[in-house]
Amino acid sequence: MTENNLDVFCPYPFMSASLESFDRSLPCCAYSPDVNPSPVHEFDQWWNHGLGKLRNDMLTGVKNSGCRRCWDEEAQGKTSQRKLALDSYPEHRNIKQALESPAFFMIGIGTHCNLKCIFCNPWRSSSIAQEYESKKDSFNKFGIVYQGYPQGADWDQESKALDTIKKHIVHARDIQFVGGEPLLKPVYLDLLDEIKNPENVRLSVNTSLERLSDRWIETLSRFQSSVHASIEAVGPLNDYIRHGSRWENVEANFEKLKQAGINVKISHVLSRTSFWTLPGIVKFMRRMRINEIHFHYLTHPESLRTAGATDEERKKFAELRFSGMLGKPHPDEIKQQIQSESYDADIDAKFWQYIDFLDNTRGLDFRKLLDDYQT
């Protein structure tokens, strides 16, 4: 039997499903479909028939256009989702036929979230949608226009969708819950209650860790769990960047997970603010004995991209030591990436304009917080 061409092949379309918060089924969260994607209640039809072309492209070495984010990232020397998938599932590198049910489920149900992170949008956070609705004129005047974001019921309200996922999830070996904010939605716990062999299932939850109930701790304890805590800063800068969050709650919840023996990793969106906040995060990780940090490259909004960082900020970043720390991409790859990038004065200016807009809209003062943090 011929081997799959690992320069193009990706196992996800054969063994993974990403059920997106705004009711669509995709093979992974990086995939950009050229046609309207299937809603979750049509999952069976999509899994059995809708992925035919993509799977065939994978097997015949054709670069499917829906995977352009992976091709672009690989062209820039970055670690793409595809490469992560090949690393994470070596047993599926040579898969030719789709599994009957996905072994890996990534699930985001709706956009319910109590936070308004500065890099987020109404497609991910109901709180940002509310803020936008109530201050639409000032957002639009600044040039931020959102259209077509979800405002209806979440897809779990469609009983067929939920029943279908309950039917499939019992076969999963790997489950990841993503936002909105999973810890705020009891339906995730109901889905997990369906699983009869939790000790054999890897469960990861992406969360701001702002709220954490005892039922969640008990459920996480039954699975091979890891909590991916989305941390962009510690202290008051956390409260600014992940607006609506209180660092004291987050820190207390870290302690609870530690006491329960649940594995915690840091998930960090690499943005302009990272240049100031990563030293504090690394210090916090060492104190909490956390040694994994996973970086996500920010693409939107443009104003927050790392290209706006000054040469001085880059110099300080180069001095940051991640010794003994793990991550995908590895922190050393992140450092190389930052060093290979050139300063973009236009993006730098846009960053400060965006910060001024946020400060005016939310009644905050980023510059003062930054001064306090740095002194």
Name the residues that contact ligand SF4, by CB under 6 A.
10, 12-13, 27-28, 30-31, 67, 69-70, 80-82, 85
Q: Are 178 and 29 in contact (CB under 8 A)?
A: yes
User: 113: how many CB neighbours lie within 10 A of its CB?
Assistant: 24
* CB of residue 25 to ligand SF4, shortest distance in Å: 13
Q: Are 10 and 58 in contact (CB under 8 A)?
A: yes
* CB of residue 103 to ligand SF4, shortest distance in Å: 14
**Chain position carrying tokens 């936070």:** 115
* CB of residue 301 to ligand SF4, shortest distance in Å: 22
User: 233: how many CB neighbours lie within 10 A of its CB?
Assistant: 24
Distance CA 230, CA 295 (A): 10
Choose between 81 and 225: whose C-beta lies nearer to ligand SF4. 81
Q: Are 104 and 85 in contact (CB under 8 A)?
A: no
Choose between 4 and 219: whose C-beta lies nearer to ligand SF4. 4
- Alpha-helical (H) ranges within the chain are 12-15, 43-45, 52-60, 68-75, 81-88, 126-134, 136-142, 159-169, 186-193, 214-222, 236-241, 247-259, 274-288, 311-318, 331-340, 345-362, 366-374
Choose between 89 and 351: whose C-beta lies nearer to ligand SF4. 89
Report the alpha-carbon angle 159-180-164, nearest 5.
25
177, 181, 185, 190: CA torsion to nearest 10: 10
* CB of residue 284 to ligand SF4, shortest distance in Å: 31
* CB of residue 77 to ligand SF4, shortest distance in Å: 16
Question: Distance between alpha carbon 116 and the CA centroid of its chain, in Å?
Answer: 15
* CB of residue 208 to ligand SF4, shortest distance in Å: 25
Choose between 175 and 264: whose C-beta lies nearer to ligand SF4. 175
Distance CA 146, CA 337 (A): 31
Choose between 29 and 187: whose C-beta lies nearer to ligand SF4. 29
* CB of residue 84 to ligand SF4, shortest distance in Å: 8
* CB of residue 26 to ligand SF4, shortest distance in Å: 8
Distance CA 16, CA 165 (A): 13
